[in-house]
Chain A
Amino acid sequence: MKTFRVLKDRPAGFFPEFEKRPAPLRRNMHYCPGCGHGVLHKIVAEALADFDIKDRTTFISPVGCAVFGYYYMDCFGISTPHGRAPAVATGLSRAHRDSVVISYQGDGDLAAIGFNEFIHTVNRGENLCYIFVNNAIYGMTGGQMAPTTLVGQKTSTTPNGRCATEDGIPFRVAEIVASQPNPVYVERVALSSPKEIMKARAAIRKAIKNTMERKGLSFVEVLSPCPIGLKKDAAGISKFIDEEMTKIFPLGKLKDVAAERVPAEHPVPVYDCEKVRAALFPQENRAEKEEFFGEKLREDIYNESEIFEKERRIKVAGAGGQGVLSLAYIIAHMARLRNFNVTYLPTYGPEMRGGTADCSVVASRREIASPIVDSNANMLIALNQPSLDKYLPQLKPTGIIVYDSSSITLPEISERQVAYGVPAAQLAVGLGSTRYGNSLILGALAKMMEELFLTPEDTKDFSAVVEAALRECFADKPKIIAPNLEAFRLGKEKAFRANTGKNPE
């Protein structure tokens, strides 16, 4: 028996045995004779070992002949859905600062089904090494047309040859990538001869180096032999690449700005409990609290009036632009500031576009079931006549109306309903802007509450909470807080009870 001397063993970036391959074939690869993948895998595996990055590299196995790439590469691996490698690579690359992600895709995977994910990954300039295997054919599924199939080339789905007008023309990916500003390095190489293979080796090593140095996206398109799919022998397939493919897909460096590119500093996730608490939790506002209650500061000091024991269902309605939603929002904030459960539900969906606006607010000490106020409303706040007319039938027989008396004529209401008006629109003009209308209405609401429901203690608190809610809701527009507070005070002063019926519940 002959003895062999191993001059150069398989690269150390490969597993010593391909144990993930189904037995008994654990020394060789699954690729066909003459296939370019084996050579390319070897180049990558050699670089993984030479650059000492096996512990921090993820090799992405696409859908295509390289779907079993993880059999061979002694590094992390993931097999992604067809075409989605660029998006998966993005997620992987952003997760850890020192990770090296190699996305390895064929022409169908990258240039057909996955081109959208690919081109946007290019556009973001993710820190990735891209190896694009272009063999002008669908190998795994048995020789169908690829986006890179040449015009006239016969495949099982172009039996008469690819027709430029019917089937499109070969898709030139490297040129597209090179035309974009973000990628750092774009080169097209071929595996047609030892000389070209050595150029491919240099290009792939450079791309991996760039990725290690976080320079951004490096892209190497590899014209790769698929002798079985193209029904050619070894010499024939090299000739096909050198003489036909390179006419459409010229070899060479299309772009290289790696030297001047500053490494991309995408933030990687950090987690800081205290930072989270400070950013998300409601801010303690003790100083303000003490200002109002002094030494009597207790959690339960406010809202002792009976009214607060009942669920209050409020409809706020008016024309678009009258500030209906912000009025409802302020009321919702008032309730929240006093630890009520509250729901705030603006008119939902296309109804919003009819020029009317309305909003349901429910406040309760208990759990709120339905957030919809479509019957049995306790209170209707109406800013124009159509809203009052529309929602009055939904008001309880003991309900309360707060309305803008400058634009609404109050219709006949039942004996146990109560109405409070304020000429909000008119007074707002006097204050300099119609925008103050909703704060004037809030004033009327306060007056009604004081006259009908509140203890003196709660009266004081009610004004305080209006102010606090206004400050909170207009926190990003501090200039308008003072005039709105002024409008609130004026509204309270000018509000009037419009009917003399019995007091409601």
Chain B
Amino acid sequence: MSSKSLLLCGNEALVYGALLAGCDAYFGYPITPAGEIIECAAKKFPELGRVFIQAESEIGSINMVMGAAAAGQRAMTASSGLGISLMQESVSYLAGMEIPCVIADITRSGPGIGNISVEQSDYFQIVKGGGHGGYRCPVFAPASAQEMCDMAFRAFDMAEKYRTPVYILTDGMIGQMMESVTLPEPIEKSAPAPYSLTPGNARTNHFTSIYLEAEELEKKNEALLAKYREMEANDQDAELWKTDDAEIVLVAYGIMSRLAKNAVDELRERGIKAGLVRPKLLFPFPKNALNALVDRAKKFVCIELSGGQMIEDVKLAIECRRPVELIHRVGGKLISVDELVAGVKAVA
């Protein structure tokens, strides 16, 4: 009678993953379609002896994260597009000061207030940096409630390994849909990092992003760039689905990758050798996986709920050696499997 799994919506699964990874503190401000995250955190964090504060704004949230994370805690926040925009100044500081933390963006449609339906138009903001100054953050792209849990769980290790903010970027549909989730084992917790502002650590510890001398800042920024190159060398991650013999390679993430799999099956039934590359991280982008498919592939087709943002990375990854087409929709509607099949057939 027992089952190994729970039925959780993606947003709840994210909170579970964070708690199992030993997240100490959650700071957030309510927004749709990320609402279940703050509500679940409000219940579970205090229940498990962790810190929860509903901040006065997303600006408040991210800066509380900065304080707690600087003090050596695993800290996180979550929001959707507009709230994430408000946080950007501080994300830049966090990247510059190399303070590890986790931020989830459960996207909605924009620009402006847009609507609460599904769109993937935050790609540029999240994947390319978002705030001022030339920083990058690793970006996980979960496509199921299970991955919301697993990637939140992994995100803290990644954040600490590279001393960086880490994003989890997905859409409102993955956030709100319920799915069966099997939980990972909770971590064994280690002491706060030696560089953190934890009583007992060297009191010379301090965080700043000011470097008045150009030579100093150059050194600092080159070190950040080296870190980003290291991520690109070590951490690319993509799911390859029926790509071994694929002549048409679809590229999609989040909810659209789920529909794309059904489209691949239908296309194959109609004699079109399609496959799917689903980036599990958007930065670093899975360039190697895409490049490995160039020889056999005739065409790449990027599927996005945006005007075409990830497509730029696909083109760069394969250095435009094959045509890259875009199937897109904006404003809050999904692209149905039938539309995908028709769209791919039209360009194949």
Interface residues of A (CB under 8 A from B): 20, 22, 54-56, 58, 61, 67-68, 70, 74-81, 84, 87-96, 98-99, 116-117, 120, 124, 266-273, 275-277, 279-286, 288-289, 292, 329, 332-333, 335-346, 348-350, 368-372, 374-375, 464, 468
Contact = CB atoms under 8 A, between A and B. Distances in A.
B22 interface: yes
Given A70-B206, A370-B337, A332 B71 contact: no
A370 B177 CA distance: 11
A442 B188 CA distance: 44
Nearest to B340: A370
B70 A90 contact: no
Interface in B1-22: 1-7, 16, 19-20, 22
A117 B63 contact: yes
Contacts, number: 256
A209 to B, nearest CB: 18
A369 B258 contact: yes
Contact of A336 (B7, B258, B259): B7
B66 A91 contact: yes
B317 interface: no
Given A88-B64, A117-B56, A335-B180, 20 more contacts: A20-B206, A55-B199, A76-B206, A91-B63, A91-B64, A91-B75, A95-B51, A96-B198, A116-B57, A117-B59, A117-B60, A279-B47, A280-B19, A282-B2, A289-B1, A336-B180, A344-B179, A369-B258, A372-B336, A464-B1
B3 A282 contact: yes
For the complex, would chain B's binding face be called helix, strand, loop or mixed by DSSP majority?
mixed
23 contacts: A76-B197, A81-B89, A84-B60, A84-B66, A87-B55, A91-B27, A94-B53, A120-B60, A270-B49, A279-B44, A282-B2, A283-B2, A332-B7, A336-B180, A342-B179, A344-B177, A349-B116, A349-B118, A369-B259, A369-B265, A370-B261, A371-B177, A375-B336
Contacts of B66: 78, 80, 84, 87-88, 91
Nearest to B16: A280
Contacts of B205: 76-77
B93 interface: yes
Interface in B56-111: 56-57, 59-73, 75, 89-90, 93, 97
Contact of B71 (A96, A271, A340, A369): A96
B109 to A, nearest CB: 9
A329 B176 CA distance: 14
A191 B289 CA distance: 65
B71 A344 contact: no
Given A91-B67, A282-B6, A348-B118, A268 B208 contact: no
Contact of A269 (B49, B59, B210): B49
Contacts of B60: 84, 87, 116-117, 120
A78 B44 contact: no
Interface string B171-196: 01100111110010111110000000
A475 to B, nearest CB: 13
Interface string B198-217: 11110101111110110000
B245 interface: no
B173 A269 contact: no
B117 interface: yes
B203 A55 contact: yes
Interface residues of B, number: 86
A81 B87 CA distance: 11
Contacts of A80: 63, 66, 93
Interface of B: 1-7, 16, 19-20, 22, 24-25, 27, 44, 46-51, 53, 55-57, 59-73, 75, 89-90, 93, 97, 115-118, 172-173, 176-180, 183, 185-189, 197-201, 203, 205-210, 212-213, 258-259, 261-262, 265, 332, 334, 336-338
A117 B89 CA distance: 15
Given A78-B207, A91-B67, A276 B334 contact: no
B258 A370 contact: yes
A77 B4 contact: no
**Residue of B59, B118, B336 with highest tally of chain A CB at under 10 A:** B59
Contact of B258 (A333, A371, A374): A371
